A and B are shown apart, each in its own frame.
Chain A
Amino acid sequence: MVHALLYLVVSFLAIAVVFYILGAPFIAALEVIVYAGAIVVLIIFVIMMLNLKQESVEQEEKWLTKKVWIGPAILCTILLIELAYILTTSDATVLQDKEVDSKAVGMALYGPYVIGVELCGLLLMSGIVGAYHLGRQKKKVIHRFLEKAEE
């Protein structure tokens, strides 16, 4: 599972390089800092808290048989082929090599998109409250003799 996270970091870094090539260096930096930094560290913390043993890896191998993945893979490949067909049959347009600088992004964020920024703040606040509420351990108030009898 930790290996999957390491490959996820590699994927995020590769996407950041693609963003840099596409002329969005600010977004590339955000990708590295927020995704490859913060979110992956969060998932690693949870995996460390769960303290999964070797049998979870074996169970994962048992779940992932060929019969399971062949159907969804074929369907998704068909979807991808359709998408590629639509993309390649339209007339080709070439991207410009100028970059959109972060100053313009900031001006757009606090100009026409200020409502969106406030909504993002609301979303983050509700995310914090929801994560706190879900992560709280509920105290059991069962009497200890009753609890022993239940087991």
Chain B
Amino acid sequence: MNSIPIEAGLLVAGILFMLGLISVLIRRNIIFMLISVEIMLNAAGMAFIVAGSKWMQTDGQVMFIFILTMAAAEVSVGLALILQIYHQLKTLDSDAANKMNG
């Protein structure tokens, strides 16, 4: 436990972020894109935790709590948007919502 190099933690965070990035690039379903954004936010928070654990400071954990709050607000608004899009377009395809209707 006392011999974890910091690169390992940052590498795990990077891999997780890349998985989320690939998923948000290749998916067309909006729910999956929202989930991928959650994964990417988690990876960013993990990088904060690793850095905070490196210098034994509380700032990393405080930043993670802020990211958590932001993710919660983001997912609620995003799901409301998904419901609205599904009611109007009857599909979850993100390419279907490319026309403005003003």
User: Does B35 contact A135, Cβ atoms closer than 8 Å?
Assistant: no
- The interface residues of chain B lying within 8 Å CB-to-CB of A132 are 80
- The interface residues of chain A lying within 8 Å CB-to-CB of B32 are 1, 4
Q: Mark B35-59, 1 if CB is under 8 A from A, else 0.
A: 1001100100010011011101111
Contact of B68 among A34, A104, A137 (CB under 8 A): A34
- The interface residues of chain B lying within 8 Å CB-to-CB of A113 are 62
Q: Mark A76-117, 1 if CB is under 8 A from B, else 0.
A: 110110011001101011111110100011011100010010
- The interface residues of chain A lying within 8 Å CB-to-CB of B28 are 63
Q: What is the interface residue range for chain A against chain B?
A: 35 or more
B2 interfacial contact with A, CB 8 Å: yes
User: Does B84 contact A134, Cβ atoms closer than 8 Å?
Assistant: yes
- The interface residues of chain A lying within 8 Å CB-to-CB of B64 are 24, 27, 30
- The interface residues of chain A lying within 8 Å CB-to-CB of B49 are 19, 22, 24, 27
Q: How far is the CB of A133 from chain B (nearest CB, A)?
A: 8
Q: Tell me how many residues of B have a C-beta within 8 Å of chain A.
A: 64
Bound Cα distance A46, B62 (Å): 30
Closest to B57 in A: A100
Bound Cα distance A31, B10 (Å): 18
User: Does B3 contact A108, Cβ atoms closer than 8 Å?
Assistant: no
Q: Mark A115-126, 1 if CB is under 8 A from B, else 0.
A: 010001001101
User: Does B53 contact A96, Cβ atoms closer than 8 Å?
Assistant: yes
Contact of A124 among B2, B65, B72, B84 (CB under 8 A): B72
In the complex where A27-B64, A46-B31 touch, is A95 in contact with B4 (Cβ < 8 A)? yes
User: Does B61 contact A64, Cβ atoms closer than 8 Å?
Assistant: no
B83 interfacial contact with A, CB 8 Å: yes
A10 interfacial contact with B, CB 8 Å: no
